[in-house]
Amino acid sequence: MAPRLDSTDRTLDLAVADLLDTQLLRSLGFAGRGGYERMWLGQAIHSRYQEKALEEDPTYRREVGVKHAFVHRGWQVTIHGRVDGLRRDAEGRLVVEEIKSVRRGGQLPPATRELYEKQAALYAWMLRDSEDARDQEVLVELILIEIGGGALERETVELDLEIIEKSIHRRLNSLIRSHHAQRKARKNRYAAAEILEFPYSDKRGGQDEIIAATELALEQSEHLLIEAPTGIGKTVASLYPAMRYALANDKRVFVLTAKTLQQDMATDVLKLLNQAGAYRSLRLRAKAKMCANDQVLCHEEYCDYAREYYLKMQKSGLTRRLVRELETLLPDDIFAAARREVVCPFEVSLELTGQAQATVCDYNYAFNPHVALSDFSPEADLSNTILIIDEAHNLVDRGRGYYSPSLSSQAARRAGEAAATGGAPIHGELAGLCFDIERLIYETVSDAQPPGDPDRWALEQALPEEDLWHLRHRLDRGFVDYLEYRRETRTLTANDEFVELYFDFLKFLNALVLSDDAFSHYLERSGGDYILRILCKDPSRFLGGVINRCHSVLCLSATLSPHEFYRDLLGFDPERTVPLHVANPFPVENRRVVIDSSVATTWRERPENYPRIAKRLAEFADAVPGNTLALFPSYAFLSEVAGMLTTAKKRVLVQNRTDGDHQRQDILDTLRGAIFGDVLLLAVAGGVFAEGVDYPGDVLKAVAVVGPCLPAVTLEQQLLQGYYDERFERGFEYAFVVPGMTRVVQAAGRLIRSAEDTGVIALFDKRFLWRTYRQHLPEDWTPEGGIRKLAGNPDEAAKAFFEIAETRAG
């Protein structure tokens, strides 16, 4: 937590760490920011030492909270911290212990040792006048414990409390100067808030409603679920009042998205709003795309950009320079500047989050427990944070995925086989360990094999938890030995099979600890792979743990109904959450919706309907004087229809399961460049062509959706159905209909994105007329006289619509 200064009361509250230059202590280590010993292993070493000390020394206390208050230049200062260990020596004197883990045979660098000693000395300075000190000298010891081996070295730290006190006062002066500079910058932002204007001369229908509702939610510290049609301008209508409020009230805004295109739009809006240059906006890009090294190997011994990172950052003043020179901090600019200073561009971008008033990034940076920014850690104060979650309907599945790990026998075998190719003793040990993990997974799954010996199945069943935990100690020891070997021989590589297995194993154990009624455990066989799985059916307590600590959270989507489904599964506090439904402002006559009830797409009826669907879809596409996008529930369904489809006027493009970014971009370029409107694109609902992609102008003139796009009937979906039945009494609807119909409406939203756009939406399946499904279609799609008025032949409907449109235009 950052130091807290209150100019009115002249109070300064800070932690011991705030008095240290801890940046110099950190290194870019193998497991992330600070090295693997700062994660599970360092914690385990601390705990083992402390537990033994408690058993052997009746005076020993661990993790002791300390606080010291005093006056500095008219400021009431309070310093607080937590001492690793306190004990009495033979003479009854208080001894402060600072416990640190060190590499096997390694020596602490002088700067690191100095920092550790200063941290321990600060605790002694805080305790010198306490009752615990008993008017005696307070002693300080560094306890250095070898990682892996457990060897312990106890070092006495020489104290000069006068020097310590002077350094504290210097640091306090620096913090107060920085506080005054920040107050000046805040005043500039307050002034900018007063003059901030909507960036467009005219507002679209519905935007005033979003702005007013957002302003009220921010004033009352409420959450808002905004459901509004695609193309209405939800992003600017929410960001405008959010930034105005944030600037006026010293808040930060995070715009969270699932796709790159949405990040582009949010970044552009933030640029438009910042005409006065009063704030800094930042866009984060994934680590792999920000790596300046020849491979993503985040260790200072293998990457020039990680080596002495914090020392180079301190000398270069790079973050200060970037913030001073750039109003919009874009990944390409950060990358170029960081590369010139030979520092990690990704780490620089993360450092800049503390300087930006608005940050645009993926959901992961807020909600994924394994990669989230420190701003969103469980201990972080988010009361000054406003979240805007774009396309929020995607967050339910994403949130489940964060807490649904798996262990694969094939992954364990690959790691074992890779280790076995090495010639050192550690390789033999690791190979044996990996094969033991593979054997445990294989035997657990094989023992549950259903009758008939199928090679693809899944079954809910208890996991071998005791055996998994038993392997944890061997894995920790092997992991440390392996990394030390790799470091000593300078053979560390990216994408190491064993290291990936190790962290997958830890994530799996972590999910076991978290498991309650909202989780299911099951076994799966997929051909030659045997898998242990944990399914998080309800991520609400984890997502809500972030959301409800924020000042306000604004969710944006064209599909947030039923709102209670999203409110509850995203973990929103019902008492603070308000839904907002914005009506479609675009002219009804610009759109024709038609339902082809002559076809059926249920699993049983599909085979006999493939020919008819292919024929009716081809006729529909040929009747459209422009490009057509046709979306299917799955690649298998798409493939069957594509093989039977013959068009007279359209070129047919097909999305393949194996397509990469390059192939997808080629398809988009072809579609956008098809000026004669002669393309029929067959793609999968819920995929890249159906959501989060823009088809400007007349690129699209029709969208066809084949079937309600329900998820496949898997064990996972059945477990979700059972859970939703128990919690909401709406199992089938929530597990199948809601996600399926969300894909349908999202896909249709690609067509009409402005008051000028026109086109036809064709829904191929009689089920769209059934109440179960039609209740999830937008209200404005249903004409007077009811849903059955939409039933018809898509071919004839398209011809009639475009004839009328041509007459109207003429």
Per-residue pLDDT averaged across 163-168, rounded?
A: 90
Q: Are 32 and 67 in contact (CB under 8 A)?
A: no
Q: Residue written as tokens 């597990």?
A: 735
183 to each of 253, 702, 728, how far by Cα in Å?
A: 19, 54, 49
Q: Which amino acid is at 445?
A: V
Residue 693 clears pLDDT 90, i.e. is over it: no
Q: pLDDT (tens digit, 9 = 90+) per residue, 210-268? A: 999 999 999 999 999 999 998 899 999 999 999 999 999 999 999 999 988 889 999 99
The pLDDT assigned to 6 comes to 84
The answer to whether 1 and 15 are in contact (CB under 8 A) is: yes
Tell me the C-alpha distance between 540 and 398, whole Å. 12
- Residues sharing a CB contact under 8 Å with residue 121, sequence separation 6 or more, in sequence order: 140, 157, 159, 161, 164
Range in 27-36, 285-294, 565-574 with the lowest mean pLDDT:
27-36
**H/E element holding 423?**
none
- How sure is the predictor about 30, in pLDDT bands with cuts at 50, 70 and 90? very low
Round to whole Å and give the CA distance between 411 and 425: 22
Per the DSSP assignment, residues forming a β-bridge with 526 are 456, 529
User: Do 785 and 617 form a contact (C-beta atoms < 8 A)?
Assistant: no
Annotate 732-752 with DSSP letters as a single string. Answer: HIIIIIHHHHHHHHHHHTTT-
131 CA to centre of own chain: 47
Higher-scoring residue by pLDDT: 496, 738: 738
Query: Which of the four pLDDT bands, split at 50, 70 and 90, describes residue 426?
Result: very high
- Token look-up 């004197």 returns 93
SS3 label, residue 628: strand
Assign residue 122 a region: left if phi > 0, alpha if psi is -120 to 50, beta otherwise? alpha
Other Cβ atoms less than 10 A from the Cβ of 799: the count is: 18
Closest-CA residue to 112 (of 29, 23, 49) = 23
Taking the CA atoms of residue 386, residue 390, residue 393 and residue 396 in that order, the dihedral angle to the nearest 10 degrees is: -50
Beta bridge partners of 577: 223
Q: What is the pLDDT of residue 131?
A: 78
How many CA atoms does the CB half-sphere of 139 hold within 13 Å?
16
**Number of residues assigned to the chain:** 810
Q: In sequence order, what E strands does 485-583 have?
A: 519-526, 529-536, 552-557, 577-581
pLDDT band per the 50, 70, 90 thresholds, residue 104: low
Structure tokens of 798? 């398209």
Q: Which pLDDT score is estimated for 301?
A: 67
For residue 146, which amino acid is it?
E
**Integer CA distances (angstroms), 72 to 127, 130, 177, 375, 792, in order:** 18, 19, 13, 29, 81
pLDDT, residue 32, reads 41
pLDDT tens-digit readout, 531-560? 999 999 999 999 999 999 999 999 999 999
Cβ proximity of 802 and 628 under 8 Å: no
Higher pLDDT among residues 429 and 302, named by residue? 429
Only one residue has tokens 């011991």, namely 16
Determine what percent of the chain is predicted with pLDDT higher than 90. 63
Instruction: Give the span between the Cα atoms of 282 and 289, in whole angstroms.
Output: 16
Confidence of residue 34 (pLDDT cuts 50, 70, 90): very low
User: How high is the mean pLDDT of the chain?
Assistant: 90
- pLDDT in the model for residue 696: 77
Confidence band of 27 (pLDDT split at 50, 70, 90): low
* Alpha-carbon gap, residue 724 to 738, rounded angstroms: 12
Q: What is the pLDDT of residues 281-292, one digit of tens each?
A: 999 999 889 988
pLDDT at 31 over 50: no
Q: Locate 555 and state its tokens.
A: 């969710």
Give the pLDDT mean for 25-29: 50
Average pLDDT over residues 127-133: 80
- Does residue 108 have a pLDDT over 80? no
pTM: 0.86
CB atoms within 10 A of CB 611: 13
Which pLDDT band, with edges at 50, 70 and 90, does 36 fall under? very low
- Worst-scoring range by mean pLDDT, 43-47, 461-465, 470-474? 43-47
